[in-house]
Structure 1
Amino acid sequence: MNTEQFGKVAVLMGGSSAERAVSLKSGQAVLSAFKNVGIQAFAFDPAERNLFDLNNTQVDRVFIALHGRGGEDGTIQGALEYLGIPYTGSGVLGSALAMDKVRCKELFKARNLPTANFIVIEKDKPFDINKIIDDFGAVMVKPSHEGSSIGMAKASTVTELTDALEKAFQFDDVVLLEHWITGREFTVTMLEKAALPVIEMVTPRGFYDYEAKYQVNSTEYFCPAELTPEQTSNIQDMSLEAFELVGATGWGRVDFMQDSDGKFYLLEVNTVPGMTEKSLVPMSAKTHGLSFEQLVVDILKQTLGESV
């Protein structure tokens, strides 16, 4: 591999979102992988340096390892386009749409892709919490613009929903309430218009929350997931369609639930998934035959010969 073709690479990590801690771990893992294969790379934290400092570093391209707002929502992507610096992952539109859980759900619904029933609650607008519980029973509460399951909670009573909304509104003024699905959780890694092996996540915590992802050792992962060939093909095809639908490109992840009847439901699209030692994308890539170093280099290759 000719590492000189990449020039000088800035790995954007950290940032000021609620996912800063995870982003720092992802960025350090990516940076170490680049150094292992001889790519000239350095860390760049937009929370500590002005993004326009990139112009003074003579950087040739950027690997975005920023999660959440300010890094995964199109704002950094737009700034890099303004600066004329090639970057990894989705562009402005795909990043912004994928980060907005409400608009993603509306797109899925418009395309007749299977997704759980939902309603949207806004902080400063009235809503009938008793009716929500009567209509939906249990719900999953999600801030519309957060990732890593931050601010998410299950609620099946008026008291639980009141508490969950209070916490969710600390992160976002718009909150998505999805009908609770009891079943299995899956994710599909997307890499250059291909769907990699499906992963099933099994946790005793009730759902795959922040703690299950990053802080406990009780979560089990099965890759490839124990599904029939038809089910695997179905979930991968839906992932490709959903990824393209929101305008996502390059690499990412699409999450699913499967109910007790075996039906799959789209949850969301992630355009800058975690790249830590516990992250799902490297796990799927490894099953696909790619080492972590090969994975990050393949993602970086997407910036070659392209003008953003």
Structure 2
Amino acid sequence: MNKITQLFNIQYPIIGAGMIWASGYKLAAAVSNAGGLGLIGAGSMYPDVLREHIQKCKNATNKPFGVNVPMLYPNIEEIMNIIVEEGVKVVFTSAGNPKTWTAFLKERGITVVHVVSSVKFALKAQEAGVDAVVAEGFEAGGHNGREETTTFTLIPMVREKLTVPLVAAGGIATGRGMLAAMVLGADGVQVGSRFAASTESSSHEKFKQAIVNAQDGDTHVTLKELAPVRLIKNKFFHDVNALYTTAPTKEALMALLGRARAKKGMFEGDLEEGELEIGQISGLINEIKPVAGIVKDMITEFEEAKKEMITF
């Protein structure tokens, strides 16, 4: 058993990312049932919807699962209270100060993990008392760190400074990627894009197909003045780029972004006007398949790659 399988009482050190519009209870339960740790993505859920997903997840798996909470969203108090009321045992926090909620959650017997994109914030999370840290590189999909540090640079730098268990995220979709991250010092991996293109993901089928069709160079980070986000290059992305040629104000960017762009793209399947958040590793994802198959493939490839390294 390694530190991550021990911490969460799971079979494999693989954690599903709590992605907006993808990580509903079906995906979370499927990852947990396959031997990893599934996460429900609270970022795209109203409090009552989150409660429903937690309850459904409890019915769909008897294995450990958790909830990912981006702290920049409204209703955060209500969300945390629902998590406690429903007896959720694991919470991943992101996009905010880990000090704000870590003590509250830990006092209630909840394991807390915080997502960071730099050594500085990894140390702050450790000081706040988290049980583990996810260090996410710039390759990752969705909202991204401002530092632009890639996963394979970030992991060894964080490992050097951290004593708590470390999870690598960003650009990991295969067993070889998992092995590489662990050789660099990670105790486990968090997988987003590969699970977004799974049968159980709640994303729209058109978005899943867009992930499969994406090649290297088809994603890019933009809207850094608001919150950096990695998107597939589509009409909306090119509209943003065109606006940048006019040296826009923050207000002009916000006006173009409008409301519910991510929902429009990822959940409703509008591939032209929606925000299509996905990681660079989408260039390596070639089919939509069930989570159980994805996890099995990763572990098989991980073991084979490990043997290859021994014979080197």
The alignment's TM-score, normalised by the length of structure 2, stands at 0.28
Q: Which has the higher strand share?
A: 1
Q: Which has the higher helix share?
A: 2
Q: Which has the higher contact order (CA 8 A, sep 6+)?
A: 1
